[in-house]
Structure 1
């Protein structure tokens, strides 16, 4: 058996962490350009940073449980928006994958009035995630362009932008589509609102100018940025995940965010959730991280398409995960990648990558790239 194939088989059988690779094989992450000073030794966008988020969500979940019961705890994620108001008595869940909106209340006095206000709040929630606290029941300031504008239409098939139309639609829903169910020995009054069929495309168009600027600034293809956003969040700017990742491109503040701040922005510290909930900041930061993947972490990959496949996989599973797919030795891994055709690199990263999520991730992103290019 050839030596490099032996190493690949050995790795697949035994497994190995990114930290062990660096320790055993002296992976060289020495900076080589002005964007790569003080480079983090173990680049990886999705190394978990959950302590602070866990503490916040545990407290948040306890308050939800008091009103809704243990089985009815719902929290915002990557592809769903969840917001509580009215001292946790009312809430909204927008499921972007299914294209549905559920607005409900467990208020025991005047439930229809509570539900009406929750519907109006949902329809008029602003297109600015930095103004909305997802982990409390704080009221939402209803000003500016609604986030769901054109993604939902009223009984007359008209988009909802103004207060009067939102109020009228709320009255219509309560009169014609009100439902009741049992929730933890209480009654939940709710309505379900379908989103328009092209709701994902409508959201994607909103960020066209931001994507274009970021692509030009960092030399990253627009279709790749679009595909990453669709994969990570379905164009949900309120997205938050288990890895303490935020916004459209699901940037982790302590890893990718910190690297971009230090190496690209020449700033100390790391981006805050509020900073990353701003779509302009989020897309800029996520694209800047792709710049680092392209020009530093994986710069020795020669073929442009092989490099792109490696960058996509690394955005999810780290540059170390890409190299580990081919060899336990960094130099040999790069050599192996450069000897292979792009389709062979793609096959290895989607079939032999040590992380199953990363294998699926590359498949999704490349599929979405084709969709955007065929439009």
Structure 2
């Protein structure tokens, strides 16, 4: 992601659920996409300016797909979860740091599953449900945290033993860090495995491929919103892959942000797009391993650029791919594809699958 910022506040992604116009009065798909993306970037910039005024220029934090942030107390307190490093940082500028940090720690440990946050249609979390971070954080007794009593006890422990202060410009920032468990990625993956299995069976896509793509795209962060406005676990874009799937299903328009930030919908649309790549855009590639390499690279950079790596003529490109071994196809894509990002993407996903 080409940006100087690190964290995107969830407030931005939620506010954008209804911020942009629908499909009416659209001149062209391209014009609408540019306009919509520009509006998204303007909103991020405005929000970043507000953060800079309070925290200082070196403390502006904007999210990538693998980071979550929540600002509270009129932007005085913030929570950052890095889903790659497995570190939760909760920090505040407040004159009453203990009070503000404790409230933020408890609310973070007990934050509900993402669908409840995004929909905002439930007054409180169902007590039968586990918090989103359940089993990803263990308290001072090495126990998972489900109820408020244990969350408050752990918060008190952290504030008594792990409280730190750092200086940034004219500010003193008080903070605590919480480490997620070593296998936190697997813990999150288990939460979404039923959705992945369901989609894999529905669209005849390898379950392992879906899981590998989710890990590379978002590290199983269901709140993920990128600077290019890709959304959710599988980083689906409304105006490209989302629209393609809707058109294939005979629907007009495109999925909304709110729709795509629901993990079930996101996995369904992302897997449906993989199926489109397999059965339509890349149809004709005979070797299943070569096809998988083409699908992975296409998921990141589009099927057209994959085929043009071999020939500007689609039929000729398919013919060339079919004349090559899977290893030759892989090597060609990771050395000659026009996009370095797509080349790296194929390597990362294939490494997770472990069979190239």
Instruction: Specify the alignment match of 1:268 in structure 2.
Output: 252
SS at match of 1:172: helix
Among candidates 55, 79, 87, match of residue 42 of structure 2: 55
SS at match of 1:94: strand
1:132 shift after superposition: 5.0
Unpaired segments ≥5 residues, structure 2: 1-28
SS at match of 1:326: coil
Contact 2:118 2:258 in 1 (8 A): no
Distance 1:77 1:268, change over 3 A: same
SS at match of 1:152: coil
> What is the aligned residue count?
321
1:175-226 deviations in whole A, cap 9, x for unaligned?
1111111233122110011110010011111111111110111110101101
Instruction: Specify the alignment match of 1:207 in structure 2.
Output: 192
Instruction: Specify the alignment match of 1:238 in structure 2.
Output: 223
Q: State TM-score, norm by structure 1.
A: 0.81
Among candidates 85, 92, 102, match of residue 79 of structure 2: 92
1:84-126 deviations in whole A, cap 9, x for unaligned?
1111111011111111110001112x22101111111111111
CA RMSD of aligned residues (A): 2.3
Q: Larger deviation: 212-221 or 144-153?
A: 144-153
Contact 1:49 1:254 in 2 (8 A): no
Unpaired segments ≥5 residues, structure 1: 1-41, 134-139
Tell me the distance in 1 between the aligned counterparts of 2:46 and 2:57: 13
Instruction: Specify the alignment match of 1:354 in structure 2.
Output: 338
Tell me the distance in 2 between the aligned counterparts of 1:327 and 1:260: 26
Contact 2:93 2:174 in 1 (8 A): yes
1:149 aligns with 2:149: no
Contact 1:121 1:142 in 2 (8 A): no
Tell me the distance in 2 between the aligned counterparts of 1:302 and 1:207: 31
Contact 1:129 1:238 in 2 (8 A): no
Contact 2:71 2:79 in 1 (8 A): yes
Tell me the distance in 2 between the aligned counterparts of 1:242 and 1:50: 9
1:142 shift after superposition: 5.7
Contact 1:50 1:244 in 2 (8 A): yes
1:48 shift after superposition: 11
Q: Larger deviation: 52-61 or 353-362?
A: 52-61
SS at match of 1:82: strand
Instruction: Specify the alignment match of 2:208 in structure 1.
Output: 223
Contact 2:116 2:125 in 1 (8 A): no
SS at match of 1:50: helix
Contact 1:247 1:282 in 2 (8 A): yes
- TM alignment of 1:1-375, pairs within 5 A: 50-108=37-95, 110-129=96-115, 131-132=117-118, 144-264=129-249, 266-370=250-354
Tell me the distance in 1 between the aligned counterparts of 2:146 and 2:255: 31
Distance 1:285 1:165, change over 3 A: same
1:32-83 deviations in whole A, cap 9, x for unaligned?
xxxxxxxxxx99xx99962232022112112211221121011222111111
Contact 2:118 2:262 in 1 (8 A): no
